[in-house]
Copies of this chain bind each other. A is one copy, B any other.
Amino acid sequence: MPKPKFVYFFGAGAAEGNGSMKELLGGKGAGLAEMTSIGLPVPAGFTITTEVCDLYYKSGKKYPAGLKEEVGKYVAKLERTTGKKLGDPADPLLVSVRSGAPVSMPGMMETILNLGLTDKSVAGLAAKTGNRRFALDAYRRFIMMYGSTAMGIARKKFDDEFDKVKETLTRKRLGADPETKIGDTDVNADELETLIAKYKALYKKEIKKDFPQDPSDQLWGAIAAVFDSWMAEKAVTYRKVEKLVGVKGTAVNVVQMVFGNKGETSGTGVCFTRDPSSGENVFYGDYLINAQGEDVVAGIRTPLKLTEFAKKDPAAYKQLCDVRTKLEKHYKDMQDMEFTVEEGKLYMLQCRAGKRTPAAAFRIAVDLVAEKLITKETAVSRIKTTDIEGIFYPAIDKSHAAEMKKSFLVQGIDAVPGAAAGKVYFSAEKAEDEAAKGTPVILVRKETSPEDVGGMHAASGILTATGGKTSHAAVVARGWGKCCIVGCEQLSVDYEARSFSVGDVTVKEGDWITLDGSNGNVYLGALKLIQPKLPKSYETLMGWVDEIRKVRVRTNADTPYDAAAARSRGAEGIGLCRTEHMFFDSEERILAIRSMIIADNAEDRKKALKTLLPIQTKDFEKIFKAMDGLGVTVRLIDPPLHEFVPHDEEGQRALAKACGMRFEVVRQRIEKLHEANPMLGHRGCRLAVTYPEILDMQVTAIMTAACNMAKKGVKVFPEIMVPLVIDEKEFAILEERIRAVAGEILAKKGVQIAYKVGTMIETPRAAILAGEIASRAEFFSFGTNDLTQMTLGMSRDDAGKFLPDYVDEHKAAIFRQDPFQSLDQKGVGLLVKNAITAARVVRKDIKLGICGEHGGDLESVKFCCRIGMDYVSASPFRVPVARLAAAQAAIEEAAEAGTAKTPRAARKPRTVRKTAADAKPAGTRRPRAKKAGNPQ
């Protein structure tokens, strides 16, 4: 294999690389090459590729053969291009050395400036610039940067030396007890020379070697430092936290120095081509006269706004404006740029797509389409999941960084984004009471259970000590878009004392805390929150999203309130209505369901169910109304019954009293509900098989509600869903019973309603035998939460102990992402894909969707689109994310089809539709939720 090219040159209007080569050249290197190519003023230089970094680590920190020679060749080329030579005692070439990974990555090596200065060449710089102090100051800074950044000497040791010099000077010049101290700029050339000597001595003491006087040694030292910083703890942690996997390494950029600190016609700045905060099309940035980048970072002097810069130095500003126009035309996106002006001449040091707020992301995307710079598809492709989250959820006002830092308490798992501040309460009951009084409440629990749902709903935020992103707390809170932090293991919750503690800090009931659900941070006290505002451009862009996508988006909603909330976010029906969640809405309901559960025989059970029937009927009526004209998939009762009953003596005694039973009997019945593995226990349709009277009640409630609403002119499309099916026969038995009960209601009410009966596919066996089951089921909804648990043999409640290792890039790295967050496409996805194929063979028009947590995950939704689902169902707050994902999937598919020349393996459009709920507007497969006659 021939040696790959290790180094890419740019300079004098030409570059070997370009902007598309981020993977190889890093973001910075690719940007410099691209800017050079399109004629922008960029100092010459070269980039050592990320591949070298990769090889360096693969071979145990050895450079690949040929690198030295190749770098040498390019140094010579740089010298030719600039007309200067490294280390030239007369007019030395100075360079900066920076790291630059394919993605922006804090924690890696910062810049080393002025490389090339030595005891000899510093004189040349002094002579050439006619400024000895400037040259010595540059040398001083270089030794410090090289010593600390490249060689790892503590920066403080250099600062201490400098401070000692300044103290001596202060005493010498201002007397023994001065009121003011002298600053850096007060140190003159001779004194700097003394300081340089001390720096070199410090260097020798620490490194046991003289400070390198050969610029080539300096260069290789800096290159090694960049590569080593790739594996520095900070950088590794960052990649882990940000889930950056598969990044090969960092590139090294060696660029000719330009100086912004050569006087009043020099300076340095950072700017955005548009306002990164609002997205408005105005030039935005800061400029610091007579300064180097380092000074901007240090934040000692206040920079000028660009408008002030324009007044101060119109000529330089004009050059910058030209660059702005050129860059936006070229990149067709808002750019973030670093630049330096040296004695009136502009040099571009970096450019990249600018980071922006979520609101700005929407505005810029929409504006760029209006400006005809990009297509709607491109605009849609640029929106990120976090952009949507950002415009819906409140956030902590980050302008008080110091306060935030001070009040930081602990970090948990970021289950649901958004922020919340409130008073701490430890019981759902108390939380409800306090919230009813108008107090903002944070509910703090070891873990939550269905009994806590009332308090969870009342609270502004939820914090739990245990559980993962798919624990009960997380799933329920996500449904409401309510800020939630889980698995905060350092939390010791003491229910008795009504307090929790983290280390020495104790937080009592009624104390204020603030949660940041976007990163899992918990703060003491009440921090200021910013309430998001939906930008106008949101509606425009989401309109395009709906035009583009081919897959419908439904929602998982269990209450009329959720249903309405989801519909307002664009949900085209309910994909999963979990009937059991309705049972926790009032004391009356809880008691009824509990009496039903502890009933010893079918008669008592039926009596209890009789109480529940009108309640469920009312709920369904409201849900059908909220979803007028759209399909509503109602899942029959699913969870293990023991989830509904109290497990403490007090609760059991209360229940016994309420039911008029002996406590001991209630205790025993509840004990009998205990299961070794409740996930795999007596739940789902197994409940309907053993207690068919529950099914009867639920179907009666659904169909009665549907009839009642239909009579009032509401368009209802009920879909009754059987959970946890494992076999065609099992489904058939229940389907027959459902149809019998439903038929009776319809006959009694004298109403015609086209309802469907289908099933969740959530056991591997159901997925394997999907073809058989499809012979009876009119729709499938893939319950990927449970399907993932069973296929992987991994309980999501217990995976916290080992799953992190499985996702960790530096440990097992078996999954790229938590399979409960992002669908395991290879394993679970294959089951789903095969099930879809088998089902469509048997029933061409079977309706297929997904209703697990994955329905709100970008990559998972894209996968669902690719394998041909008809819809995805997401929790109400994730509906816009799901819509976006579906649109992006359609765009990607179209792009692939375009690239592949021949169209992608022909997936036949699924056009056979049965009920009005499935009708689509003629001649288009584009879903338009709000269009009449298109109810889904």
Chain A residues within 8 Å of B, Cβ to Cβ:
675-682, 684, 686, 689-690, 724, 726-727, 729-730, 733, 762-765, 768-769, 786, 789-795, 797-799, 801-802, 805-806, 811-814, 824, 826-828, 830-831
Do B765 and A813 touch across chains, with their CB atoms under 8 A apart? no
On whether A814 and B678 interact (CB within 8 A), knowing A689-B802, A764-B790, A791-B764, the answer reads no
- Beyond A676-B678, A768-B831, list 14 extra A-B contacts (CB 8 Å): A677-B680, A680-B793, A680-B795, A681-B795, A682-B798, A682-B801, A689-B802, A690-B805, A726-B827, A727-B827, A733-B812, A764-B764, A764-B790, A768-B830
Find chain B residues with CB under 8 A from A677 CB.
677-680, 789, 795, 797-798
CA distance A681 to B684 in the complex (A): 21
Do B679 and A806 touch across chains, with their CB atoms under 8 A apart? no
CA distance A733 to B806 in the complex (A): 11
CA distance A795 to B675 in the complex (A): 9
**Which 4 pairs from chain A and chain B are nearest by CB?**
A680-B795, A677-B795, A681-B798, A763-B793
Residue in A681, A689, A690 with the greatest tally of chain B CB atoms within 10 Å = A681
CA distance A789 to B675 in the complex (A): 14
Find chain B residues with CB under 8 A from A786 CB.
793
- In the complex, what's the smallest C-beta–C-beta distance from A489 to chain B, in angstroms? 10
Do B769 and A689 touch across chains, with their CB atoms under 8 A apart? no
Do B802 and A686 touch across chains, with their CB atoms under 8 A apart? yes
Find chain B residues with CB under 8 A from A827 CB.
726-727, 765, 768-769
- In the complex, what's the smallest C-beta–C-beta distance from A694 to chain B, in angstroms? 13
On whether A681 and B811 interact (CB within 8 A), knowing A793-B762, A795-B676, A827-B769, the answer reads no
- In the complex, what's the smallest C-beta–C-beta distance from A135 to chain B, in angstroms? 54
CA distance A676 to B727 in the complex (A): 26
- In the complex, what's the smallest C-beta–C-beta distance from A762 to chain B, in angstroms? 7
- In the complex, what's the smallest C-beta–C-beta distance from A727 to chain B, in angstroms? 5
On whether A765 and B828 interact (CB within 8 A), knowing A675-B795, A795-B675, A806-B730, the answer reads yes
Whose C-beta in chain B lies nearest to the C-beta of A803? B686
Instruction: Tell which of B765, B768, B792 touches A793, judged by Cβ atoms closer than 8 Å.
Output: B765
- In the complex, what's the smallest C-beta–C-beta distance from A838 to chain B, in angstroms? 12
- In the complex, what's the smallest C-beta–C-beta distance from A643 to chain B, in angstroms? 11
Instruction: Tell which of B675, B789, B828 touches A680, judged by Cβ atoms closer than 8 Å.
Output: B789
Do A802 and B680 touch across chains, with their CB atoms under 8 A apart? no
Whose C-beta in chain B lies nearest to the C-beta of A640? B798
On whether A689 and B812 interact (CB within 8 A), knowing A677-B679, A790-B790, A827-B769, the answer reads yes
Do B764 and A797 touch across chains, with their CB atoms under 8 A apart? no
Find chain B residues with CB under 8 A from A730 CB.
806, 812, 814
Find chain B residues with CB under 8 A from A826 CB.
769
- In the complex, what's the smallest C-beta–C-beta distance from A682 to chain B, in angstroms? 4
Find chain B residues with CB under 8 A from A681 CB.
794-795, 798-799, 801
Residue in A764, A792, A826 with the greatest tally of chain B CB atoms within 10 Å = A764
Find chain B residues with CB under 8 A from A797 CB.
675-677
CA distance A686 to B828 in the complex (A): 19
CA distance A684 to B801 in the complex (A): 13
Find chain B residues with CB under 8 A from A813 CB.
729
CA distance A801 to B733 in the complex (A): 19
CA distance A798 to B687 in the complex (A): 13
- In the complex, what's the smallest C-beta–C-beta distance from A539 to chain B, in angstroms? 42
CA distance A555 to B811 in the complex (A): 35
Find chain B residues with CB under 8 A from A676 CB.
678-679, 795, 797-798
Instruction: Tell which of B680, B795, B831 touches A798, judged by Cβ atoms closer than 8 Å.
Output: B680
Find chain B residues with CB under 8 A from A793 CB.
679-680, 684, 724, 726, 762-765, 786, 790
CA distance A812 to B689 in the complex (A): 7
Find chain B residues with CB under 8 A from A824 CB.
765
Residue in A675, A793, A802, A811 with the greatest tally of chain B CB atoms within 10 Å = A793
- In the complex, what's the smallest C-beta–C-beta distance from A852 to chain B, in angstroms? 14
On whether A726 and B789 interact (CB within 8 A), knowing A686-B802, A690-B801, the answer reads no
CA distance A813 to B799 in the complex (A): 35
Residue in A729, A806, A812 with the greatest tally of chain B CB atoms within 10 Å = A812
Instruction: Tell which of B763, B812, B831 touches A792, judged by Cβ atoms closer than 8 Å.
Output: B763
CA distance A662 to B649 in the complex (A): 29
Whose C-beta in chain B lies nearest to the C-beta of A827? B765
- In the complex, what's the smallest C-beta–C-beta distance from A817 to chain B, in angstroms? 14
CA distance A682 to B677 in the complex (A): 13
CA distance A769 to B830 in the complex (A): 9
Do B789 and A765 touch across chains, with their CB atoms under 8 A apart? no
Whose C-beta in chain B lies nearest to the C-beta of A831? B768
- In the complex, what's the smallest C-beta–C-beta distance from A633 to chain B, in angstroms? 20
Do A806 and B678 touch across chains, with their CB atoms under 8 A apart? no
Residue in A682, A765, A814 with the greatest tally of chain B CB atoms within 10 Å = A765
- In the complex, what's the smallest C-beta–C-beta distance from A853 to chain B, in angstroms? 17
CA distance A592 to B826 in the complex (A): 40
In the assembled complex, 14 residue pairs joining A and B whose CB atoms fall closer than 8 Å, in A order, are A676-B679, A677-B678, A677-B795, A677-B798, A678-B798, A679-B795, A680-B790, A680-B794, A689-B802, A726-B814, A726-B827, A727-B827, A733-B812, A768-B827
Instruction: Tell which of B675, B682, B790 touches A791, judged by Cβ atoms closer than 8 Å.
Output: B790
- In the complex, what's the smallest C-beta–C-beta distance from A448 to chain B, in angstroms? 13
CA distance A678 to B813 in the complex (A): 23
- In the complex, what's the smallest C-beta–C-beta distance from A770 to chain B, in angstroms? 11
Whose C-beta in chain B lies nearest to the C-beta of A797? B676
Whose C-beta in chain B lies nearest to the C-beta of A680? B795
Do A763 and B791 touch across chains, with their CB atoms under 8 A apart? yes
CA distance A762 to B794 in the complex (A): 12
Whose C-beta in chain B lies nearest to the C-beta of A674? B798
Find chain B residues with CB under 8 A from A764 CB.
764, 790-793, 831
Whose C-beta in chain B lies nearest to the C-beta of A471? B676
- In the complex, what's the smallest C-beta–C-beta distance from A679 to chain B, in angstroms? 4
Find chain B residues with CB under 8 A from A795 CB.
675-677, 679-681
CA distance A790 to B830 in the complex (A): 17
- In the complex, what's the smallest C-beta–C-beta distance from A569 to chain B, in angstroms? 32
- In the complex, what's the smallest C-beta–C-beta distance from A221 to chain B, in angstroms? 35
Whose C-beta in chain B lies nearest to the C-beta of A727? B814
Find chain B residues with CB under 8 A from A729 CB.
812-814
CA distance A675 to B768 in the complex (A): 28
Find chain B residues with CB under 8 A from A828 CB.
765
CA distance A830 to B786 in the complex (A): 21
CA distance A568 to B724 in the complex (A): 45
Find chain B residues with CB under 8 A from A769 CB.
826-827, 830
CA distance A814 to B765 in the complex (A): 13
Residue in A676, A680, A726, A805 with the greatest tally of chain B CB atoms within 10 Å = A680
Instruction: Tell which of B690, B727, B762, B790 touches A802, judged by Cβ atoms closer than 8 Å.
Output: B690
